[in-house]
Amino acid sequence: MSEAPGIGRIRVPPRARRGEVVEIRLLIQHPMENGFRRDTLGRAVAKNIIHRLVARYDGREILRAELGSGIAANPYFAFFTRATASGRIEIDWEDDAGVRGSVGAAIEVT
Amino acid sequence: MRRRHFLKVGAGGTAILAVPAAAQQLLPAHDLAPLIMQIAGTSPPRPGRVRIGLPSLAENGNSVPLDLAVDSPMSEADHVRSIHVLAERNPRPLVASFQLGPLAGRAQLSLRIRLAGSQRVVALAVMSDGACWSAETEVVVTSAACLDELSL
């Protein structure tokens, strides 16, 4: 069921010192339809939200989020991780329509 | 006479402005206790260690910035296992649950939430030892999040 995934943008500092706590910022383009809205013809708009989001650092989980309709459209998240080794930070998500998306960035640890 | 007229118009304008505030009362507050019990387990959450950063007045309930922070060393032995956000007047009061661990380095999160009207927002943090800490704050929402269907 994979169509065009929501476009995600990630910001991770490109370089960090070992042991430093770095901020990861994520913005996903997604309507996060809460299922309570009607379109211009009065038809109910189906609920479609990103219900799960997982952030990994070289495959190890940093953060796992279970999200509800109380998350604003075009969801934004900022969170932290400790820079341990040069590698990649990858974030995956899935919405109610089964559409998956992912975005990643590299971090160089010195 | 003109002054009377002005007063009348003024009163009418105030009445119109008051309508959205009254409409917000439509959604009853959920009882958060069962949800909190489900998250915290048997011991009730203790207030403290969690900080909520939420504007006291939000103009637009469709996107309200929320910052969460928990006092924790985030070490292998002592870290935050999960953070939960509850909004009692939202149609679905559980806004989000986050699972984290020592890899996070710092128990701090920022996100943007929807709020269906002025209400109390509760944050819970479950620690690695099973203890649950909480914080709550009141927020006034001028324009509630878009909810055409209040059938819930």
Establish if B110 belongs to a structural domain.
Answer: yes
What is the band of B116 on the pLDDT scale with cuts at 50, 70, 90?
A: very high
Locate A109 and state its tokens.
Answer: 């640890």
Establish if B118 belongs to a structural domain.
Answer: yes
Q: Cα–Cα distance between B80 and B101 in angstroms, integer?
A: 6
DSSP H or E stretch at residue B113? strand B108-113
Residue A10 is predicted with a pLDDT of 96
Q: Cα–Cα distance between B147 and A33 in angstroms, integer?
A: 11
Establish if B17 belongs to a structural domain.
Answer: no
| pLDDT score of B9 more than 90 | no
| pLDDT score of B1 more than 70 | no
Residues of B contacting chain A (CB within 8 angstroms): 62-64, 85, 87, 90-101, 103-106, 108-115, 145-150, 152
Domains of chain A listed by start with CATH number: 8-109 (2.60.40.10)
Q: Number of residue pairs across A and B with CB atoms under 8 Å?
A: 107
Residues 37-96 of chain A with CB under 8 A from chain B are: 37-38, 44, 57, 60-73, 75-82
Residue A42 is predicted with a pLDDT of 86
The alpha carbon dihedral of A76, A79, A85, A90 has a sign of negative
The alpha carbon dihedral of A85, A61, A67, A81 has a sign of negative
Percent of chain B with pLDDT over 90: 66
Q: Residues of A with CB below 8 A from B84's CB?
A: none
Q: Are strands A15-16 and A100-109 parallel, antiparallel or unpaired?
A: parallel
Establish if B113 belongs to a structural domain.
Answer: yes
DSSP H or E stretch at residue B19? helix B2-23
Q: Cα–Cα distance between A86 and B137 in angstroms, integer?
A: 39
- The model's pLDDT over B18-42, given as tens digits with 9 standing for 90+, comes to 444 445 455 788 888 889 999 988 7
| pLDDT score of B15 more than 60 | no
Helix (H, G, I), strand (E, B) or coil at A88: strand
- Pick A44 or B24 by higher pLDDT: A44
Out of A37, A71, A80, name the one closest to residue B95 (CB). Answer: A71
Query: Mutating which of A63, A91, A93, A96 best tests the B interface, going by the most B Cβ atoms within 10 A?
Result: A63
Tokens 């296992």 locate to B81
Q: Residues of B with CB below 8 A from A73's CB?
A: 62-63
Number of domains composing chain B: 1
| pLDDT score of A5 more than 60 | no
Query: In this structure, how many other beta carbons lie within 10 angstroms of the beta carbon of residue A82?
Result: 19
Q: Cα–Cα distance between B112 and A19 in angstroms, integer?
A: 28
Residue span of the structural domain in which B115 resides? 28-143
| pLDDT score of B80 more than 70 | yes
AA letter at B115:
L
Tokens 């206790």 locate to B33
How is residue B103 annotated by DSSP?
Answer: G
- The model's pLDDT over A27-36, given as tens digits with 9 standing for 90+, comes to 999 999 988 8
Q: Cα–Cα distance between A73 and B63 in angstroms, integer?
A: 8
Residue A3 is predicted with a pLDDT of 41
Establish if B63 belongs to a structural domain.
Answer: yes
| pLDDT score of B88 more than 90 | yes
- The model's pLDDT over A51-101, given as tens digits with 9 standing for 90+, comes to 999 999 999 999 999 999 999 999 999 999 999 999 999 999 999 999 999
Q: Decide if B62 and A78 are in contact by the 8 Å CB cutoff.
A: no
Query: What CATH number does residue B45 fall under?
Result: 2.60.40.2470
Helix (H, G, I), strand (E, B) or coil at B17: helix
pTM for the full predicted model: 0.84
Q: Decide if A72 and B114 are in contact by the 8 Å CB cutoff.
A: yes
Residue A44 is predicted with a pLDDT of 87
What is the rounded average pLDDT of the residues B92-102? Answer: 95
